[in-house]
Amino acid sequence: MTIKELRKAIENEKTRSAWDNGKKVYALELLEDFPEDQEFYASPADKKTLLNGAADWNQYSWGGCSLIYNSDIAERLCSPSELKKTRYGERRPNSREEWLDTQARALFQACNMICRIARSSV
């Protein structure tokens, strides 16, 4: 599956929550630097390329490869009621994570979405 086809398939994914919408945006952003005619096979090499030199999604997130402000991450991943509850990112998303950890989890799931879609076309 080419990157162009993969982007189109991701754009057509049905989402039912703010979290799913956020994952979809992350998935599209992860594919931005790939040429449109390049093939994507969901191989370990492809996953490594998505990480852009980071060891894992936590390092990717904390290293500044994606959003860096709590308010931006919260806005992308939260529903209006969750945004209000967290004061637009001023409060932690939950007792176990910082916003950058939550973003890393969303990025991991976005990578899985990309690979699932790429594999389903084979």
In sequence order, the β-bridge partners of residue 97 are 94
Residue 121 has pLDDT above 90, yes or no: no
Q: Which residues are CB-contacts of 43 (< 8 A; sequence separation ≥ 6)? A: none
Tell me what the pLDDT averaged over the chain comes to. 96
Distance between CA 30 and CA 26 in Å, rounded?
6
Return the pLDDT at 122. Answer: 61
**Can you give the pTM of this predicted structure?**
0.95
